[in-house]
Amino acid sequence: MNFFHELKRRNVFRVAIMYLVAAWLIIQIASTLAPALLLPEWTTRLVTLLLMIGFPVALIFAWAFELTPEGMKRTKEVDIDESITHHTGKKLEYGIIGILAIAVAFLLLRPSEVTESPILTANATPSIAVLPFEDFSPDKDQEYFSKGIAEEILNLLAKTNNMKVAARTSSFAFYGSEEDIRNIGQKLDVSTVLEGSIRKAGGTLRITAQLINVNDGYHIWSETYDRDMSDIFAVQDEIAASILTSLKVHLLGEEAQATATLKADVDAYNHYLIGKERMAGQTMADFIAANAKFEEAIAIDPDFASARVHQVLAMLEIERLSEWDKKTEASKKTDSIANMHLKRSLELAPNLPQVHAIKALYDLRRYNYDDAKVYFDRALQLNPNYAQAYLWRADLHFSLNNFKAMLADREKAYALDPMSLEISRELAFDYRSFGRQEDANRIIDRMFELRPHDQSAYRAYITNFSAHAQFVEAIKATKEGLKHHPDDPWLKDMEAWMLFYIGDYEAALTKGYDYIELDYGHLMGWPEEAVSKLQDILKGPHRESYFYAAIDYYRFKGDKDQLSAILKESIAHADKLNYPWKTNCSFKFIEAIQYTGIDADISQAIEECRNRTDNQVKYGYLCPCSLYTLVAFAIIDGRPDDAVSRAYEWLAQGDYMPGMENSAILSHLKSHDEYEELLHLNQRNFERQNTLYWATVANKSPSDGG
């Protein structure tokens, strides 16, 4: 009895009750939140185990220690007449009541359990992910074909408006994974998963498909198809139709017709699949290899529309990644086949979404914005789940200064295909430009988790640093990326540019880029060797790629005659390429035209710049890298006081311009009282970054190397 009385006096019973109630509440919260946060299944078990271990520890602690006005003391050291355990007991009782109240509220407010299958819920939108089919062929040589079948089924399913279909990149990320289907479904946010296998023996195929309910892991539907290789597309249509029927989803008439139009020679199809697989690598080497495979597929089957348009896509990507002075040549190669392939593909497969989407992308890259919009909209009408089309259409919105719609399309693409590193990279770029650096970092971190050392991840990582005037971090990231991808043109180009920007001119010049030598010449006030270099380039085959450098030189020298001549040639060249120089807000070009007074209407260009900069401010599209655009436009718009105010904002972000004193645009502020102060702030920002670079990256003093 004395022991029982002592347990009561020391509040051991109250501590036990409070601990058990709190532990129960914690377990309930963990079991509720773990699935929503995509935590492993064992998370709740681990929490329960830790709380069980903690229970006897809490009781021992309550027996051995007592809370006193002087703090926590061992119970045996406290005089029983001075003990305040009765007061502590009251507080514990209040705590128990409080925790019980929270527990009751939690039970009332938490979502009720869903016992029926998600796909049978009346108001739920059916959703599905199609995993790559397993290759069970004896020689294990049908991986591309297995993925291809799954992809074509995915494409057919995606053409309905009333179903959410996880994109290829995301669902295919689990190829070869042993992960539980229920976890895959949670990660892809779908209610059903289609998996299957393919076994090829001679000219015969056996395809098995199984539709699985993510909620409980049970099969909803399964079927086996034995077909000849020559009938593969009919098999794909049949499987897709069976799945659609099982999900109670009906295709619209036009979409149903589209499912029956895909035909190709089997050998051509195999080359096409290999090309698609290489495209996913997103490197120059991958695009070149993919282009060759598409070309082989077209040679075998000239009526294979998908191969035709994907060759155009591969060439557009080769063009995008080409070095600066090789882009014009790459563009000509693309143009030589694009129009023919796109026209023929539209004739062969007018209801194929990728035909319209790639035609739209080509029009976008050739500045035919009206046509691009029509074809993007048609592609998304045919396939509302086409993540890539949303990604590309976002670029159209950017070109049209519609930043809000751009971000909406990019986020839609990411929601459909969260495993795509290309989509992740572009969304990170957008978050960066909206000043949402934490969101950009979150996506970039996830990119590296999905594929460590990936080139797309490095691009997003580096650009995010440089856009926020963190040039030392950007250089470190670039050097890290080059360790893993020493031949990547973008990384090499970015390294040279940033070395120049941060003031390591000697290292930048050793990279062998003509534009760096010319930028250095401009920085140094155009010494004789830089002028000679420019004149030699202007006599060569890449003359038009260096018109801006020529504009810089003649504007710096004040030679209006030569500047006028190069401007007229630039305008003629832009018009020939259909390049919208009046709508792309090129401040340097507009200022040079204003300076020379040549006969060129720039009223539209000024208005487009006004529209773009107004929208930048309206939607917060204002990372430090874009604040300078507000300065430049205020100058060419004749508002020097506004330009000075904007310049202070820009420089306050830590950004700067190498050779600011030689800038033709900023020279318009020379008569302003605060011009010298702006030069000082610019130099201070440069010196801060330059000093940090030499101390942490180059590990030597400027006098040793630059």
Write the DSSP assignment of 533-600 as a string of letters: HHHHHHTSTTGGGGHHHHHHHHHHHT-HHHHHHHHHHHHHHHHHTT--TTTTT-HHHHHHHHHHT-S-
Q: Give CA 3 to chain center in angstroms.
A: 66
pLDDT tier at 292, thresholds 50, 70, 90:
very high
The proportion of the chain whose per-residue pLDDT surpasses 70, expressed as a percent, equals 82
Provide mean pLDDT across the span 266-272. 82
Question: What pLDDT score does 643 carry?
Answer: 94
What would the mean pLDDT of 186-210 be, rounded to a whole number? 77
Single-letter amino acid, residue 134: E
Q: Which range (212-226, 348-362, 616-630, 646-660) has the least confidence?
A: 212-226
* Tokens at 653, concatenated: 């972000």
Q: What are phi and psi of 203, to 5 degrees?
A: -100, 15
pLDDT of res. 349: 87
- Helices and strands counted in the chain (H then E): 33, 8
* pLDDT in the model for residue 545: 84
pLDDT at residue 476 tops 90? yes
Phi, psi (degrees; rounded to nearest 5) at 516: -70, -40
Tens digits of residue pLDDT in 422-449: 899 999 999 988 888 889 999 999 889 8
Give the other-Cβ count within 10 Å of 210's Cβ: 17
The larger pLDDT score, comparing residue 117 to residue 34, is at 34
CA 340 to mean position of chain CA atoms: 32
Confidence of residue 623 (pLDDT cuts 50, 70, 90): confident
**pLDDT at residue 70, as a whole number:** 65
Specify the DSSP class assigned to residue 197. Answer: E
Q: Which residues fall within 8 angstroms of residue 95, CB to CB, at 6 or more apart?
A: 18
Count of residues for the chain?
A: 706
Q: What is the pLDDT of residue 557?
A: 92
Longest dimension (CA), the chain: 110
Query: What DSSP letter does each residue of 302-362 carry, written as one string?
Result: TT-HHHHHHHHHHHHHHHHHS-GGGHHHHHHHHHHHHHHHHHHHHHH-TT-HHHHHHHHHH
Share of the chain above pLDDT 90, in %: 32
Query: For residue 411, is pLDDT > 90?
Result: yes
- Tens of pLDDT, residue by residue over 594-608, are 999 887 778 888 988
- Torsion sign across C-alpha atoms 182, 124, 169, 134: positive
Q: Which residues pair with 208 in a beta bridge?
A: 197, 224
* H helix or E strand, kind and range, residue 190: none
HEC readout, 458-488:
HHHHHHHHHHCCCHHHHHHHHHHHHHHCCCC
pLDDT score of 142: 64
Residue identified by tokens 């796909």 is 119
Local confidence band at 114 (pLDDT 50, 70, 90 cut-offs): very low
In the prediction, which pLDDT does 115 show?
A: 35
- DSSP code, position 675: H
Tell me, what's the pLDDT at 141? Answer: 65
Which tops the pLDDT comparison, 110 or 269?
A: 269
d(CA 290, CA 296): 10
Q: How many CB atoms lie within 10 A of CB 477?
A: 23
Q: What is the pLDDT of residue 499?
A: 94
Residue 585 to residue 605: CA distance in whole angstroms:
6
Residue 647, pLDDT score: 94
Give the pLDDT band (50/70/90) at residue 248. very low
* Distance from C-alpha of 165 to C-alpha of 634, rounded to nearest angstrom: 47
- Per-residue model confidence (pLDDT) at position 639: 94
- Cβ-based burial of 440 (10 A; exposed 0-12, middle 13-18, buried ≥19): buried
The DSSP bridge partners found for residue 193 are: 129, 212
pLDDT for the residue numbered 359: 94
424: Cβ–Cβ under 8 A, 6 or more apart, which residues? Answer: 414, 418, 443, 444, 446, 447, 456, 457, 460
First-to-last CA distance in the chain? Answer: 86
Q: Give the range with max mean pLDDT: 21-25, 190-194, 307-311, 602-606.
A: 307-311
pLDDT band at 392 (very low <50, low <70, confident <90, very high): very high
Among 220-224, 333-337, 509-513, the range with the most confident prediction by mean pLDDT is 509-513
Displacement of CA 481 from its chain's centroid (Å): 17
Question: Which pLDDT value is given to residue 167?
Answer: 77
Interatomic CA distance for residues 56 and 566, integer angstroms = 85
Q: Confidence class of residue 296 from pLDDT cuts 50, 70 and 90?
A: very high
Phi, psi for residue 219 in degrees, rounded to 5:
-75, 135
Please report the pLDDT score of residue 702 as a whole number: 56
Calculate mean pLDDT across residues 449-472: 88
Q: Beta partners for 165? A: 128
Structure confidence at residue 117 (pLDDT): 37
Q: Which residues, in sequence order, are bridge partners of residue 227?
A: 205
Please report which confidence band the pLDDT of residue 418 belongs to, taking 50, 70 and 90 as the band edges.
Answer: confident
DSSP for 340-355? HHHHHHHHH-TT-HHH
CB atoms near residue 259 (< 10 Å): 20
For 165, the enclosing helix (H) or strand (E) is: strand 164-165
Instruction: Tell me which of 689 and 57 has the higher pLDDT.
Output: 689
What SS3 state is found at 73?
strand
Name the residue with higher pLDDT: 240 or 115: 240
Query: Is the model's pLDDT at 257 over the cut of 60?
Result: no
Determine how β-strand 164-165 pairs with β-strand 127-130. Answer: parallel
